[in-house]
Structure 1
Amino acid sequence: MIFQNVKDVFNVLFEAVSEGVIVVDKTQHIVAANQSAESMFGYTDNDLIGKHLDTLIPKPYRANHQSHVDGFMKQQKKRQMGKGRDLYGAHKDGNSFPVEAGLNPLQINGEDYVMALVIDISVRKKQ
C-alpha cells in the first residue's frame, strides 16, 4: 500500500498544497510552515520555525490580533479568519499583501495547536 508510512504521507501532502500552511502552538509560536507559506512571506529553509506569529502580521494590526486569538481559542471551531474584514500578511521585506486565511484547531499529544491555511489574494484584489 502506498500510504503505509503516515509521517511520509503527511510531509508529502504538507508540501504539495499550493496554500500556505502555518501551524502555531498555544503561545502563537510557529512550529511548522510549508514551502508555500515560506515563499509567500519571503522566508526560506524553515526560517519561520520558532518565530512568533506577529512576524507575519503587519504592525498596524498586531495590537488587535491578540484579542482575536483569545476569542478563537475559547471557541476552537474551524472558521474563516476575518469575516467581513480585509486581512493582510507581512512580507519579510516589510511590505503588506492581502490574504485569506482559514483557521483549524487541532490537538496533538494533548497540546493545542492552530493550523492556518493562507492564500495570497493580491491578484484578485487588483482585478
Structure 2
Amino acid sequence: MTETSALAEWIFEQMADAAIYADRSGAIVRWNQAAATLFGHSAAEALGQNLDLIIPERLRPAHWRGFEAAMSSGVTRTHGRATLTSAMHKEGRKLYVEMTFALVVDTDGKTCGSVAVARDVTARVEHERDVARHGGAV
C-alpha cells in the first residue's frame, strides 16, 4: 500500500460522518466506523449487502429509480447538495440523516459507484417537529 492510499484509507475510516461506498449494483463495498455507529451494523454485517439495509421500505422504489438513473447518466439529482432523508437503524428505529451523494468515476470516465456521507440529524428534526406541533411551546 502506498503512503497516499494508506492516507486515503485512514481518512475514510476516521471521518466523523458516516461514509458508504456502493458499487454500480448498489452493493455496499466500503462502510466506515461512523456508519457502523450511526446505523448499528458493523462493517462485517454491511459489506456485500444491498443499500436496502438502511433504506426504509417505503423509500426504496424512489431510491432505486434515482440510483439507477445516476449510474446510467453519470449525474446525480442533488448535485452534491445535502438532502434530508429517513434511514433505518439496525434495531428498526427511524433515523433522520442529512446525506450528500457523489458518483465515483474511474480514470476512463466510467461511473464505478456512489459514495454517500451521512450525518445524524434525528434530534434536530424531532425537536423542530415538536415545536411546530406545539406552536413553539416546547
TM-score w.r.t. the length of structure 2 is: 0.78
Higher CA-based Rg = 2
The residue that corresponds to 1:90 in the other structure is 88
- Give the Å deviation of 1:51: 0.3
Alignment partners' CA distance in 2, 1:43 and 1:55: 9
Contact 2:31–2:43 (CA<8 Å) still a contact in 1?
Answer: no
Secondary structure in 2 aligned to 1:23?
strand
| Alignment deviations for residues 48-77 of structure 1 (CA, whole Å, 9 cap, x no partner) | 100001111011111221112123232425
Q: Quick one: distance in 1 between partners of 2:111 and 2:75?
A: 13
Aligned positions of 1:93-112 closer than 5 A: 93-108=91-106, 112=112
Gaps of 5+ in 2: 128-138
Instruction: Calculate percent identity across the aligned residue pairs.
Output: 22
Aligned-residue RMSD, C-alpha: 1.9
Alignment length (residue pairs): 121
Output one character per residue of 1:68-125: Cα deviation in whole Å (capped at 9) or x when no partner: 212323242542364xxx4111111111110111111112475611110111111221
Higher RCO structure, 1 or 2 (CA under 8 Å, sep 6+): 1
Write out the 4+ residue segments of structure 1 that deviate beyond 2 Å after TM superposition: 70-73, 75-78, 107-111
- The aligned amino acid for 1:114 is S
